[in-house]
Structure 1
Amino acid sequence: MTTTITTPATPTPPGDARSGDNLADRHERATLAVARRRSAELESEIARDPGAFRVLTGDRPTGALHLGHLLATLDSRVRLQDAGVEVVLVIADYQVITDRDETGDLPAVVREVVLDYLAAGIDPARTTIFTHSAVPALNQLLLPFLSLVTVGELERNPTVKAEAVDAARRQGRDMSGLLFTYPVHQAADILFCHGDVVPVGADQLPHLEATRTVARRFNQRYAAARPYFREPDALLTPSLTVLGNDGAKMSKSRGNALELRATEDETVRYFRRARTDSERHITYEPETRPDVANLLRIGARFAGTTPAELAESVGAAGAGRLKQVVTEAVVEGLRPLRERRRDLAADAPAVVGDVLARGNAHANAVADRTLADVRELMGTVY
Structure 2
Amino acid sequence: MATTKNDTKRSSKGVRPKYNRVIGIDIGNGLLNIRSVTNEGRDYSLTLPSAFAFYKDVGAAVSSKELDVSKFEIEGSEYAWGEEIKKISKLQYSYGHENRYRTDAYSVMVKIALARAYMDLGVKQNDKVLIVTGVPSGETGTMREQEIEAAFLGTNVDDPESKPVIHDVVVDGNQMYFKVDAVKVLPQALSTVLGRYLDLEGMVEDDDYEEMKVAVIDIGGGTTDLDIVDNLRRLNEYQSIPRGFRDVYNAIREQITNDLPGHQVSDYKLLDVLEEGKEQKEYIYRPSKRVDGVNFTNTFNRTVREISMEIQELVTSTWKDHSDIDEVLLVGGGAHHFEQHITRIITGITIPDNNGSSNVEGYYRYGIYKISEDDE
TM-score category, normalised to shorter length: under 0.3
- Bigger share in strand: 2
How high is the TM-score relative to the length of structure 1?
Answer: 0.25
- Bigger share in helix: 1
How high is the TM-score relative to the length of structure 2?
Answer: 0.25
